[in-house]
C-alpha cells in the first residue's frame, strides 16, 4: 500500500522541519570530521608516519578536490605540501 501523494509531501516537509533548523551546524561538524580524515590520509606527506599509508594512497585522487577547497579555507593560497600541488 503506497500512501497518497499529499501524505508523502507532508512527510517530506516534516523531515525538512526536523533538519532545516540545525542544517548548518551539522554540516560544519561533518566538515570537521572530514578534515580530520583528510589529515590522516595526508599524514605521510607531512612527515607523520602512517602505517596505513599504502591503503590510503588510493584515496588521494578522491580527496584531491576537497584538498584544494581545504587549503583555501585555511587561508593558504597555494598547497602547503611540496609534492602535492593542486593549483
Partner 1 sequence: MSGIVLAALGLGGFALGYVFYSRYIGDRVFQLDPDFETPAHAQEDGVDFVPTNRWVLWGHHFTSVAGAAPIVGPAIGVIWGWVPAFLWVTLGTVFFAGVHDAGALWASVRNRGESIGALTESVVGKRARNLFMIVIFLLLLMVNAVFAIIIAQLFVDVRSSVIPAWFVIAVALAIGWLLYRRGVPLLWPSLIALVLLYGSMFVGAMYPVSLPEQVLGLQEPAQWVLILFAYAALASLLPVWVLLQPRDYINGIQLFVGLAIFFGAVLLANPTVVAPAFNTGLPDDVPPLIPLLFVTIACGAISGFHGLVSSGTTSKQLNSEADVRFVGYLGSVGEGALALAAILACTAGFATLTEWEAFYSTFAAGGIPAFVQGGGAIISEGLRLPVHFAETLLAVMAVLFAATTMDTGVRLQRYIVQEWGVIYDLPVLTGRGISTLVAVGTCIALAFGAGGGAGTGGLVIWPLFGTTNQLLAGLTLLILSVILMKLGRGTVYTLVPMVFLLFMTFFALLVQLADFWRQGQYFLLGLDLLILGAAIWVGLEAVATLRRTWAERKEGKVAVGAE
Angle at Cα 76 formed by Cα 74 and Cα 81, nearest 5°? Answer: 105
Instruction: Tell me the residue length of the chain.
Output: 87
Closest CA to 84 of 15, 70, 73, 50: 70
Q: Do the Cβ atoms of 50 and 25 come closer than 8 Å?
A: no
Closest to partner 1 by CB, 1 vs 49, is 1
Nearer residue to partner 1 within complex by CB, 11 or 76: 11
- The minimum distance between CB 72 and partner 1, in angstroms, equals 14
Residue 77 beta carbon to partner 1: minimum distance, rounded to whole angstroms: 21
User: Which residues lie near partner 1 (CB under 8 A)?
Assistant: 11, 13-18, 20-29
Smallest separation, CB 78 to partner 1 (Å) = 24
Amino acid at each position: 500500500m503506497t500512501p497518497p501523494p499529499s501524505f508523502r509531501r507532508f512527510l517530506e516537509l516534516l523531515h525538512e522541519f526536523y533538519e532545516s533548523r540545525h542544517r548548518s551546524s551539522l554540516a560544519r561538524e561533518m566538515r570537521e570530521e572530514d578534515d580530520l580524515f583528510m589529515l590522516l590520509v595526508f599524514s605521510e606527506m607531512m612527515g607523520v608516519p602512517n602505517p596505513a599509508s599504502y591503503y590510503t594512497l588510493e584515496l588521494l585522487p578522491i580527496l584531491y578536490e576537497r584538498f584544494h577547497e581545504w587549503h583555501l579555507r585555511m587561508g593558504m593560497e597555494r598547497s602547503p605540501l611540496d609534492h602535492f600541488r593542486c593549483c
